[in-house]
Amino acid sequence: MVNTTQPTADLSSAPTVKKIQDERLREVSFVTRIMRRPELGALAGLILVAIFFASTADPSMFTLAGIMNILSPAAQLGILAIAAALLMIGGEFDLSIGSMVAFTGLIFGAFITLNSWPLLLAIAATLVIAAVLGGLNGQLVIRTRLPSFIVTLAFLFILRGLSLVGLKWATGGSTQMRGIGDQAGEGLIRELFSGVAFEGVFAWLAANDLIGKFPNGTPTVTGVPVSIVWFVGFALLATWILLRTRVGNWIFAAGGDPNAARNSGVPVDRVKTALFMLTAAAAAVVAILTVLDAGSTDARRGFQKEFEAIIAAVIGGCLLTGGYGSAIGAFFGAIIFGMVSIGLTYTRFDSDWFQVFLGAMLLLAVLFNNFIRRKVTGER
Amino acid sequence: MESQAPLIEIRDLVKHFGSVIALSGVSLSVHRGEVMCLLGDNGAGKSTLIKTLAGVHKPTSGDFLVEGKPVSFASPRDALDAGIATVYQDLAMIPLMSVTRNFFMGREPVKGVWPFRRVDFDHCDEVTREEMHRIGIDVRDPHQAVGTLSGGERQCVAIARAVYFGAKVLILDEPTSALGVAQTSMVLKYIHQVRSKGLGVIFITHNVRHAYAVGDRFTVLNRGKTLGTYAKSEIQIDELQNLMAGGKELQAVSAELGGMV
């Protein structure tokens, strides 16, 4: 009896032993897991900034209308910053983003006003041209093996200059092009790129006294500006691509060590070119959004946005050396930007403190990122 | 086993870079379940030879046969597809990425239909954990960055990756040269394991002791030429050392230093 039961007991205990061995896998503490996320710094920064304004700013800053005010500039910057973050993770820079906004704004305006193209065609053509220019940037960087910093710095000036010359040429001497909004016409396509979204929801919320409304019953905030919808959508999509798809893994690999990536069969050059194209296309989307919103475009559009986008990406946890960072971090970084630039007007501080803040935030973020990288990724 | 065509065979391989003759007639073969050690001092042409086998360079002339059939690789990808995997000393892994992401880099398994197609990370983690367990680094988390692994563990994971993805021949480029004693023995032990699975291994090193510990046959490379191939039974460790260093000078130095080089 004893002999027959013993083996069965052994057999049944075997899987348990294996399970216990698996559990020898060191339990990763919650703190470590959090610390490993690149967007931690940006989230912490956002919370700090929010606390700062909650205690110093006029309470109207954190009403629904105030939040929309903060998010609008954050959205425009954020779309650029998320693309810049992906490119930085892929190991490259694009300093021509800001100029690309001006240039694509100009050609978009020209398609609408000079060529009288329908909106859809104008948008499609603008995106294609932006992608081609981005691809050119990428190919130059890859083929010459020059740092992308210097190649795209050249394009910063080329595109800015072309925008100025082109504007003057197209308008007969002015540096502003008007009347784009009127010529663009109405319709579904227009609504995707200008105005507000979710009006029905907001009307319903106002009707049920959930949000503020005017005496006549229209809500004080009629909806979410579409740029914010683009911003949030792009952040979610970019995060999903980065963390869950093959292309995401290739982006990390291309930026982390292009040689090792190539040796493992990652198409590094294609990934980088695609990222340059994406960055340029993101600039074009921002150009289309702002041009349709304002109804006009001018040569200073997107001025210094390349730096702000890179700063937002760095605050969001991107390393300047590539291979590490996050899209959702850039999302938070852009919101920090919007909150401070708009928030200062709600306080008694001079809003020119913004620049000081910007520099300080960048420095802090870089120091913090450096520390985290060494701590968590094991550069002992 | 000997009757089968060798996994890789090269005959009189020559490689010129402009006026530089990097390889001037190299012959070598590796069979299933065999560790072929390629020994040579700096500048002997080891790197060029590896890169030619790995599909990075094209040979100027000579025969290159894989399982008896002549091949010509246009890219490292072709070599990989033919079952030749190269594990480079320091270019194998990306320190900032997790072990899982490194393990499946370039060959991520996907699930789902197109716009929602994504990497099957659950499966990846499971495989990675299993493979790490097999190597003996099982008390680690596959999500941790490769930078947190020791040099020996990194080499082992890189080798495990090559084996997992169906390599028939492993080319190991100085896998032990940057490692300490304990880590070296970990890698050597793993090479031994891989051989017993029936893979062919080309083990490049300039450390004769490491070579002698796991090698079945030894090919010595000097100034772009093979000096000869010897089975383990045919040659002693000292002879191998002298052959590799080109003879006399080293003996003299060795004597001066008390015979320990």
Q: What's the mean per-residue pLDDT of chain A? A: 87
B11 within domain boundaries: no
Residues A235, A207 contacting (CB under 8 angstroms) = no
Which pLDDT score is estimated for A215?
A: 87
**Pair (B165, B221) in one structural domain:** yes
Q: Which residues of A touch B148 (CB under 8 A)?
A: 377-378
User: Whose CA is closest to B59, among B102, B24, B111?
Assistant: B24
Interatomic CA distance for residues A229 and B104, integer angstroms: 34
When CB atoms are compared, the residue of B88, B107, B119 closest to A244 is: B119
Residues B178, B90 contacting (CB under 8 angstroms) = yes
**Pair (B243, B185) in one structural domain:** yes
What ipTM, to 2 d.p.?
0.81
B21 within domain boundaries: no
Lowest pLDDT segment from A115-119, A127-131, A369-373:
A369-373
Interface of B with A in 26-85 (CB under 8 A): 76-77, 80
Residue B206 has pLDDT above 90, yes or no: no
User: Whose CA is closest to A106, among A43, A178, A49?
Assistant: A178
Cβ contact, residue pair B96, A263, below 8 Å: no
Residues B203, B191 contacting (CB under 8 angstroms) = yes
Q: Which CATH class is domain A62-192+201-376?
A: mainly alpha
Which pLDDT score is estimated for A103?
A: 96
Which pLDDT score is estimated for A269?
A: 95
**Residue ranges of the domains in chain A?**
62-192+201-376
* pLDDT tens digits, one per residue of A235-247: 999 999 999 999 9
Which pLDDT score is estimated for A357?
A: 87
Interatomic CA distance for residues A209 and A217, integer angstroms: 10
* pLDDT tens digits, one per residue of A177-192: 888 888 888 888 888 8
Question: Mean pLDDT across the stretch B90-106?
Answer: 86
B35 within domain boundaries: yes
Question: Mean pLDDT across the stretch B208-227?
Answer: 86
Of A80-89, B120-129, B187-196, B221-230, which one has max mean pLDDT? A80-89
Position B248 confidence tier, pLDDT thresholds 50, 70, 90: low
Which pLDDT score is estimated for A184?
A: 81
Residue B246 Cα distances to B28, B35, B230, B242, B251, angstroms: 19, 23, 16, 6, 10
Position A1 confidence tier, pLDDT thresholds 50, 70, 90: very low
User: What share of chain A has pLDDT > 90, as a percent?
Assistant: 56
**Pair (B166, B75) in one structural domain:** yes
**Pair (B113, B219) in one structural domain:** no
**Pair (B49, B131) in one structural domain:** no
Q: Which residues contact B11 (CB under 8 A, 6 or more apart)?
A: B27, B62, B63, B65
Cβ contact, residue pair B141, A249, below 8 Å: no
Which pLDDT score is estimated for A305?
A: 93
Q: How many CA atoms lie within 13 A of A308 on its CB side?
A: 26
Q: Furthest-apart CA pair in chain A: how many Å?
A: 105
Interface of B with A in 92-111 (CB under 8 A): 92-97, 101, 104-108, 110
**Pair (B71, B166) in one structural domain:** yes
Cβ contact, residue pair A25, B97, below 8 Å: no
Q: For residue B95, give how far its alpha carbon lies from the nearest alpha carbon of chain A (Å).
A: 7
Lowest pLDDT segment from B1-15, B216-230, B243-257:
B243-257
CA-CA-CA-CA torsion sign (A345, A349, A350, A352): negative
Which pLDDT score is estimated for A71?
A: 95
Cβ contact, residue pair B77, A265, below 8 Å: yes
Reported for A164-168, long-range contacts at CB under 8 A and 24+ positions apart, including other chains, are: A164/A299, A166/A103, A166/A106, A166/A107, A166/A110, A167/A106, A167/A297, A167/A298, A167/A299
Which pLDDT score is estimated for A51?
A: 94
Position A126 confidence tier, pLDDT thresholds 50, 70, 90: very high
Q: Which residues of B touch A325 (CB under 8 A)?
A: none
What residues are paired with B11 via a beta bridge?
B63
Domain that holds residue B132: 97-144
Q: Which residues of B touch A34 (CB under 8 A)?
A: none
B14 within domain boundaries: no
Of A125-129, A169-173, A340-344, which one has max mean pLDDT? A125-129
Question: Where a domain ends, among B144, B173, B204?
Answer: B144
**Pair (B117, B178) in one structural domain:** no
Residue A158 has pLDDT above 50, yes or no: yes
Q: What is the three-class DSSP state of A219?
A: strand
Cβ contact, residue pair B76, A265, below 8 Å: yes
Q: What's the mean per-residue pLDDT of chain B? A: 84
* Residue of A240, A257, A264, A372 best to disrupt the B interface, most CBs of B under 10 A: A264
When CB atoms are compared, the residue of B94, B104, B148 closest to A378 is: B148
Q: Which residues contact B174 (CB under 8 A, 6 or more apart)?
A: B89, B204, B205, B206
Residues A42, A317 contacting (CB under 8 angstroms) = yes
Q: Which residues of B touch A263 (CB under 8 A)?
A: 76, 86, 88, 91-92
B17 within domain boundaries: no
Q: For residue A378, give how far its alpha carbon lies from the nearest alpha carbon of chain B (Å).
A: 4
Position B156 confidence tier, pLDDT thresholds 50, 70, 90: confident
**Pair (B85, B102) in one structural domain:** no
Query: B145 touching A, CB under 8 A?
Result: yes
Residue A311 has pLDDT above 80, yes or no: yes
Which pLDDT score is estimated for B35?
A: 92
Interface of A with B in 295-324 (CB under 8 A): 319, 323-324
Cβ contact, residue pair B106, A261, below 8 Å: yes
* pLDDT tens digits, one per residue of A245-298: 999 999 999 999 998 898 888 899 999 999 999 999 999 999 999 999 988 898
Question: Mean pLDDT across the stretch B5-12?
Answer: 88
When CB atoms are compared, the residue of B80, B97, B139 closest to A252 is: B97
Q: Name which residue leads in pLDDT, B7 or A185.
A: B7
Of A134-143, B48-57, B58-67, which one has max mean pLDDT? A134-143
Residue A13 has pLDDT above 80, yes or no: no
**Pair (B80, B161) in one structural domain:** yes
- pTM higher than 0.90, yes or no? no
* Residue of A24, A88, A249 best to disrupt the B interface, most CBs of B under 10 A: A249
Instruction: Provide the residue type at B120 as one letter.
Output: D
Position A23 confidence tier, pLDDT thresholds 50, 70, 90: very low
**Pair (B109, B213) in one structural domain:** no
Count how many domains chain B has: 2
Residue B259 has pLDDT above 60, yes or no: no
Question: Mean pLDDT across the stretch A190-203?
Answer: 89
Which pLDDT score is estimated for A373?
A: 74
**Pair (B129, B246) in one structural domain:** no
* DSSP-assigned letter for residue A26: P
Q: What is the three-class DSSP state of A377?
A: coil
